[in-house]
Amino acid sequence: MHIVYMQYMCIFIVFTLPTMHFNIHHVNIKYFNITEEAHMQNTNLDSILESRRSQPHQLIEVLQDIQEQHGYISEETMATVSEELGVPLMDVYSVASFYKSFSLKPRGKNVITICTGTACHVRGAKLIVNQANAQLDVAPGETTDDGQFTIEHVNCVGACALAPVVTENGSYHHHMDSGKLRKLIKSLESKDTEENSND
């Protein structure tokens, strides 16, 4: 009885193994409309996935690269990563939603990150956060409706001696307070309107 069962299992596996790839691919094609933007992103994606295919443990590194290049991780991208690395789609989604580095929604043009570490907190980071929320009318982690600003928190960038610290598009601003942030946001706003009017 057992031997027959084993044989059946072998045959079952032999026939379903090739279709496993098809199953996940099935999900990819059937449930997502691949847009043109996604096509462009896919070519970048190829270079990110190169030499990492079928290596599930590279998932976080791959997602980091995608986040860096595209600014966020879309559902289509997650489906492709799932297929190429051999990780169940559920696990890709779990990992992408667990780690704060990854954004599942597109981010604003200017990402303002306010450090809320202990040293910054003790020197008044909370008031800076309040200022950002009030001035731009968004909650932390959210993007303004016009897509210009995203406000993020980070728990320590490691520049504690210069607290309070705010980073914006890669630049560090130190010894900040609510007034200085107000001015910084205003200057970024006018820079954007300038650029738009010059188009």
Partner 1 sequence: MTQQVTLNIDGALIRAAKGTSVLDAALDFGICIPHLCHVSNIEDIGSCRLCIVENIVNGRSKITTSCTLLVQDDMMILSNTDKIRRLRHNIAELLVSEAPNSRAMQDIALRCGVEETRYSFRNNDCILCGRCVRACTGEFGVKPLGFVGRGKDRRVEAPFNLRSKLCNECGRCIDLCPMVMPACDGPMETGKERLCGNCESKLSDTDLTLGYCVGCYFGEGIQCQRSPINV
Partner 2 sequence: MTKINTVNDLENLRNKILEDREKFRATLVICGGTGCQASRAGGVIDEIKKELDNHGLNESVCLRTTGCHGFCEQGPLIVIEPDNLFYCHVTPDDVHEIITKTILNNEIVERLLYTDPVSGNLIKTESEIPFYKAQDRQILTQNRQVDPCSIEDYIAIGGYTALGKTLFEMSPESVVQEIMDSELRGRGGGGFPTGLKWAECREAPGDEKYVICNADEGDPGAYMDRCVLEGNPHLVLEGMLIGAWAIGASQGHIYVRNEYPLAVDNIRVAVQQARESGLLGDGILGSKFSFDVEISRGGGAFVCGESTALMASLEGKVGEPKPKDVHTVIDGLWHKPTTLNNVETWANVPAIMKNGSSAFAAKGSKGSKGTKILALTGCIKNTGLVEVEMGTPIKNIVFDIGGGANNEKPVKAVQTGGPSGGCLPVEKFDLPVDFDELYDAGSMIGSGGMVVMDEETCMVDVAKYFLTFLQDESCGKCVPCRIGVSRMLEIVTDITEGRGKLEQINLLEELGDTLSHTALCGLGKTAANPVLSTLRYFREEYEIHIEEKKCPAGVCQELITYAIDPESCTFCGLCKKACPHNAITGEKKQAHEIDLGLCIKCGICRSECKFESIIIN
How many residues belong to the chain? 199
Return d(Cα 62, Cα 48) in angstroms, integer: 7
Q: What is the smallest separation between the CB atom of 93 and partner 1, expressed in angstroms?
A: 4
Which of partner 2, partner 1, none lies near 31, with the C-beta cut-off 5 to 8 A by kind? partner 1
| Binding track, positions 69-98, relative to partner 2; x by CB under 8 A | ------------------x---x--xx--x
CA distances (Å), origin 80, targets 22, 53, 73, 107, 136:
13, 11, 11, 21, 35
Q: Is 187 in the site for partner 2 (CB under 8 A)?
A: no
Residue of the chain from 20, 40, 122, 134 that contacts partner 1 (CB under 8 A): 20
What span, in angstroms and rounded, lies between the C-alpha atoms of 34 and 27? 12
> For residues 41 and 131, which CB has a smaller minimum distance to partner 2 in the complex?
131
Shortest CB 75 distance to partner 1, Å: 5
One residue of 35, 97, 155, 187 binding partner 1 per CB under 8 A: 97
Distance CA 105, CA 103 (A): 5
CB burial of residue 63 (10 Å; 0-12, 13-18, 19+): buried
From the list partner 2, partner 1, none, partner contacted by residue 38 (C-beta under 5 to 8 A by kind) = none
Nearest to 82 by CA among 101, 106, 63: 63
**Candidates 15-23, 105-113, 131-139, 152-160; binding stretch for partner 1 (CB under 8 A):** 15-23
Q: Answer with the entry of partner 2, partner 1, none that 52 interacts with (C-beta below 5 to 8 A by kind).
A: none
> Is the Cβ–Cβ distance between 25 and 54 less than 8 Å?
no
> With CB cut-offs between 5 and 8 Å by kind, which of partner 2, partner 1, none does residue 109 bind?
none
- Torsional sign, CA 52, 54, 55, 59: positive
Binding residues (CB under 8 A) for partner 2: these are 56-61, 63-64, 87, 91, 94-95, 98-102, 116-124, 127, 130-131, 134-135, 154-163, 165, 172-174, 177-180, 182
